[in-house]
Chain A
């Protein structure tokens, strides 16, 4: 790490920013899965997603960050709020948001976390993320339209199918 520090010195401001955002995200994520109010859960989720977008910017992925804001915060969250309203959840506290067996989730999550943490720390011990400049969007689009063209086309089919499927499922007159 000391050897690397010469080339990739740790940017203090970046680290501090990361820490604050990460703490906020974890708190918000915990709130999403524990709050007793569905609408609040959605709003906490907005915070998590915004935090993720901010982390992308820290990791020099501007285009992905912009997409994250547009798609998730712009579109997906609106869908969620509509979903909540159309299913007439109570705006306010609600009982029975959790399963009777909700406690089962705690050990599973903790075991998984321990495992992941162990593997990650084992593999990346002291590696420092290189300090790269922002990724040019051209580089991304080149990739999309050359070697990842087929998956890209396949994806457009998936989106079309999903749109049609959602309409078929949700329409009333059947």
Chain B
């Protein structure tokens, strides 16, 4: 199996995730796209672990998994709160940060 294949798969997933983050309006869908990005990174970490012959990459992949779980938990709680306050989770309506 070529290393390039594995890494390219990660790259493709990453770019699809980036597209999702930019294009989606629904907050839950944006969170899903972020999950895609994180998984793409994890694929790369695992591939590098395999190339280097150490388990460090796998350790980091597990860290990413744990952090992602925390991120989704907090992210969805925020989405719920936004929904409760505004009856909508469309991100382009949330522009209080406009300078």
Please say whether chains A and B are actual partners in one complex: yes
**Majority-rule SS of A interface residues:** helix
Q: How many A-B residue pairs have CB under 8 A?
A: 256
A86-126 residues with Cβ-Cβ distance < 8 A to B are 86-89, 94, 96-100, 102-106, 108-110, 112-113, 116-117, 120-121, 124-126
| Per-residue B-contact encoding for A153-165, CB less than 8 Å = 1, 0 else | 0010011011101
| Per-residue A-contact encoding for B55-71, CB less than 8 Å = 1, 0 else | 11011011101111111
**Majority-rule SS of B interface residues:** helix
A61 x B61 contact (CB < 8 A):
yes
How far is it, in angstroms, between the C-alpha of A128 and the C-alpha of B3 when the chains are bound?
5
- In the complex, A6 has a CB within 8 A of chain B: no
How far is it, in angstroms, between the C-alpha of A67 and the C-alpha of B53 when the chains are bound?
20
The one of A106, A120, A139 in contact with B4, judged by C-beta atoms closer than 8 angstroms, is A120
Q: How many residues of B contact A (CB 8 A)?
A: 70
Which chain A residues have a beta carbon within 8 Å of chain B's beta carbons?
Answer: 10-11, 14-15, 18-19, 22, 25-26, 29-30, 32-33, 38, 41-42, 45, 48-49, 52, 55-56, 58-61, 63-64, 67-68, 71-72, 75-76, 79-80, 82-84, 86-89, 94, 96-100, 102-106, 108-110, 112-113, 116-117, 120-121, 124-130, 132, 135, 139-140, 143-144, 148, 151, 155, 158-159, 161-163, 165-167, 169-170, 172
Q: What residues on A are CB-neighbors of B58 within 8 Å? A: 61, 63-64, 135, 140
B22 x A159 contact (CB < 8 A):
no
